[in-house]
Structure formats: C-alpha cells, structure tokens
Chain A
C-alpha cells in the first residue's frame, strides 16, 4: 500500500464493488426490497390503535338498560361483543382458548348496582396480551348513564393481574429467538457446503440429499430446544414468568415451530448461492414475522390484508401457542388450529425444499 491516500484507487474499489453488486441480483433486490417492505409494514400494517377485538358478553340482567349498555360499548368499536353467552364459565373457557379477548359480565343485579357503590359492569380481559389490557383501560373510563359510581366498569385482567410486562414479552421472545437462529443458521449451513466445494465431493458419495439435509438440520433442533429452555428458565428466575399449562405441550409446540423454521431455512438455502445472500434472505423473512406476528405490534390493529399475511407466518401461530400455554394455562387441545397451521407450513415448505435440493451440479 502506498503511503498517500489515492482517490483513484479508492474509486477503483468503489467501481469494483458496484459492479459486483450489480451482478448479485438477489442483493440488488434486497436493497430495494427491505426498505419497501419495512415502509409498507410500518406504514399500513402497524397501528397501535386496536379495533374490533373479539369479545363475548354474558348478560345476566337481560334488561332494557343492559342491552343498551352493550350497544353503547359496541359503538366505541374497541371490542366487538358478537358472542352472547349465558354463563361466565363459557366465557372464561373461550378466553383461555384465545377465541375472545374479553368477556363483559353484566350481573343479574345490574340495575340495583347502578344506584350503589359497586361497579355495575365487569370486564374480564386476556392479560396475556398487553394490547388488550390497554384497550380495556379505555373502556374502564366509559361513562355509564344513570350510574352513581365513576368507575362503572371493573376490569379484571386475567393471567397477568399485576400487569407484569415481561409476562407478555417472554413467550413471544422464545419464538423470535428461535426464528432468528433456526432460519439463519440452516440457510447458511447448507449454502456453506456448496460455497466451500464440499458438495461436489459429497454428491459422489452414497450420501442422499435427504440424508444431507436432515443431518445438517437435526443438530439445530437440539439447539432450538436448548434455547427454549434457556429463555424459560431465565424468564422464571428473573421475571417470574410462569408456565401455567403443560411444559410438555409447550415443548411440543416449540418443536413443531423449530421444524417449521428449519424448513424455511432449508427452503432459503435452495434459493441462494452464497452465505451473504442467505443472511439477507433470512432477514427478509424475519422482518414481516417480527412485525406482523403480534409480538411487537397488535394483530388486531392491522388491516385485513396484513392479517392474512400474518396467518401464513409460523411465528404468529407460535406466539399464540406460547402465550396460551404459558400464561392462560391452555392446552394443545384448545389451541389445535395454531398447531395445525404450523404443521402445514412445515410440511409444505420441507416438501418444496427437498424437491429443490439437487444431487447434481446442474
């Protein structure tokens, strides 16, 4: 290297970089794709104001006024009380399954309570979801006509009565961490065999592509389960995050999610040509997952189209499973649609990926 800084040499490197970049069509696409995706996601899909949270109502009073109150609360559009139930117990079960986010209970002595000191309305909310807690607080301010108390609605945050924030984030965090490591590691690991020339030797041995692929990802299944345990243990020790449901079922859900994420990683590795591209592609799938899955921003605040996309992403389903099992004490029997979605995702992607892993060089 010469002792003086040369701008023509600098320019030579800059031109070389731009030329290489232009040849790398995937990187080129990512340069455009990642900001576009982020802008659209942040701009359209992410909205902290939630609307139409699914909710149930248990009207034990069945009076003119009680029906009117439900009607008025419905007008606020925060909750959508479209399930009318007879028993509070049914409402709680639906809450546990994640079918509704809140249950409004109008006690039989509603009319009398309006004149008394006790809050005439009870709103049981799913405390495992921070967004729902916030929405419930809005409703609590609701002025009730003819009521003597200012706090007309008593909010009962189930599952997280102390509004402990880590309780809401830790279950989702397991999913986020698994997504990051599983997708990126497998995507890179498989491409590395090709990049370093190992693949050319391997395909002359009796090793089949299924054996190679499975052998490469199996260690990551173990790594994923270790990571899950680590987050669970740290969450319990440091933040007192419980596992209220069955730990075995939680691990089963994690296992299925790990397989789905590995399938995504393998699929990426069949599309890219270098480790660098693999990292970019992994980030490309990671972004919508973290933004749309309900981990960071409320699913209920998203427009329909974004919600459909979210339904395709494995992280969305895993976060619902993790919150359900860990915080609401739900079982896999309650949450089977989420489990089914993960299984379908894993099978479809793994099928495509294995079909794409060629055992030839062309």
Chain B
C-alpha cells in the first residue's frame, strides 16, 4: 500500500447481527486534505470512523491508518490521531481549563508544556474568557471549539470529526471550517462526516455513503462533472401540483421544491421536452431550463434507485 494515503481500507465491513452497517468499503484518504463523508443518518459514517480509530472491530476487511494496521496497532494510533465525537464527550462538571489539563495529562505532557499548550489552545479557539467556566454551561459553538481544542491537543497527524457541526449555528460553522483549513495548512489530515451539502462542498475529497456502501468518491468538482444526471429548474405558479405530475414520470429521478420553483433531476438533457410536455398536458404553466449541477444533485444521483426498503 502507498504511504501517500493517510487512510486505506479494503473491503471494510461491519455487521450488527443481521444488519450490515458498513458494506465492503474501499477508501483511500490522501494526506493533508479534508476528506468528507457525506451521507444520511444511519449510512455507516460513525461506524466507519469508529472502526478507523480502532474503537470497533471490523467484521471483515483490512484497515491501514498512518501506515498502522488497525485494529492491531490501535494503541499506537491513539498517540497520533485525534477524535472529535458526535456528542459532546468532555466533562460538563469541569471547567474549560480543567478539561484541557486533564487531556494534556492523559497524553503525558509535562506540567510546563501543559500550561503552555492550554494557553495556546485557549487563544487559538477563543476560549480565554471562558477558561474558568464549566463546560456544561457553554453554548453549542463554544462546546465545539473546546472539543476541537482537546482533539488537537496532542497535535495529531490525523483528525477524525464525526458530524462536528450538527449542533452549531451557521456563523460558528463557518468559523469552525476556517479552523479546519488552518489545520490542513499545518499538514494535518482531516476526516469529517457531515450531512450538510455546503460543508461537503468545502472538502478536498468526498465519499458519498449510503446504507454502508460507497456510492461515489472524488473531489466535489470531479463528482459534479462526472454526474450522469441533469438538473432542471421548473419555474411555475403551481409547484405542488407540478411536483405530483413530474414525480409520476419514469425518467424523473427526484423532484424537490425550492421556494417557488422545482428542482428536477433527470437522466439526460434529452428528457427536457418530455418534462415540458407532461406539464403542458396537465395545463400547468411553467418554464423549464437546464441548470448547473450542484452537490445535492450528485448526492441524489448517487443514492437514488438504491433507496428501496429504506425505513
């Protein structure tokens, strides 16, 4: 296996009883980039991250992270990787500073180095004013900054972030992503799971997961260029009715209302006349145009037709 990649998996599989949470996943995550896991809840993002960290044993398959065999060398990985859990996992009844000091001691930092590092991190993540405050009383954005500060405390080469921004306002999210890019500048590899398209758009590389399977992998630009579907924008006064009509068409892969218009995903540009005809036949006035592909189209195209039996 090449050492250019921070993470490589081969046929990674995890079953819980009869349920297959992760299904023969082949990933390659390049070093020094932000690699995104995009998928709906329950698609296996967290399970995969936990297996990559060595927290869960795979049912099948091989994992190599930072040239270590996981789970065999998971203990060695713990010193080189950081993990920011989906739910806040620090101590609510300790202050910001006490939490940071605790983690610093776990990583064996000297007393002087601990003080220095806590100072640095409080400064970098704007926690100075909050240092004496109990972690349980922080806002969502503040908690997340504290969680990131503890996750990078040991200056990891690789950072796992499991839906880091799910409980955070848009401004905090933007600031948070700036911090993530600052980390990649310093050479850190980031693996971020998300179900937000705007966040996925920011990643260098993306993996689209559905029901434990890898549906597509590549840079957002590459994925958009390669998508085998065409998005149409239907401007109409009766979007609800138009949606009912269009969803009945065989060639329409998805149809979503965006304000007053509809975004319709069809397999190719050739289907545009068929869409117009269908609307006209029902007496619906509307303007149908081809529009630019966005990541949501890629996601829908990659996952559509694989949703049967979804709960």
Binding site for B on A (CB under 8 A): 196-207, 360-362
Contacts and interface: CB of A to CB of B under 8 A. Distances in A.
A205 B87 CA distance: 17
B88 interface: yes
A211 to B, nearest CB: 9
Given A204-B81, A206-B78, A360-B54, 15 more contacts: A197-B89, A198-B89, A198-B90, A199-B89, A200-B85, A201-B83, A201-B85, A202-B106, A203-B55, A204-B83, A205-B78, A206-B107, A360-B55, A361-B50, A362-B57
A204 to B, nearest CB: 4
B88 A197 contact: yes
Contact of A204 (B55, B87, B91, B92): B55
Given A197-B87, A362-B56, A205 B107 contact: yes
Interface residues of B, number: 24
A200 B55 contact: yes
A361 B91 CA distance: 19
B202 to A, nearest CB: 24
A207 B92 CA distance: 19
A361 B103 CA distance: 20
A152 to B, nearest CB: 67
Q: Give the 10 A-B residue pairs with the shortest CB-CB distance, closest first.
A: A201-B89, A204-B83, A197-B89, A205-B106, A197-B87, A200-B85, A361-B55, A207-B106, A206-B78, A200-B89
Interface of B: 50, 53-57, 75, 78-79, 81-83, 85, 87-92, 103, 106-108, 150
Contacts of B81: 204
Contacts of B57: 360, 362
Chief secondary structure at chain A's binding surface = loop
A206 B56 contact: no
Contacts of A206: 75, 78-79, 106-108
Contacts of B88: 197
Given A198-B89, A198-B91, A361 B83 contact: no
A73 B99 CA distance: 70
A201 B53 CA distance: 11
Contacts of B79: 206
A197 B56 CA distance: 15
A201 B91 CA distance: 10
A157 B106 CA distance: 57
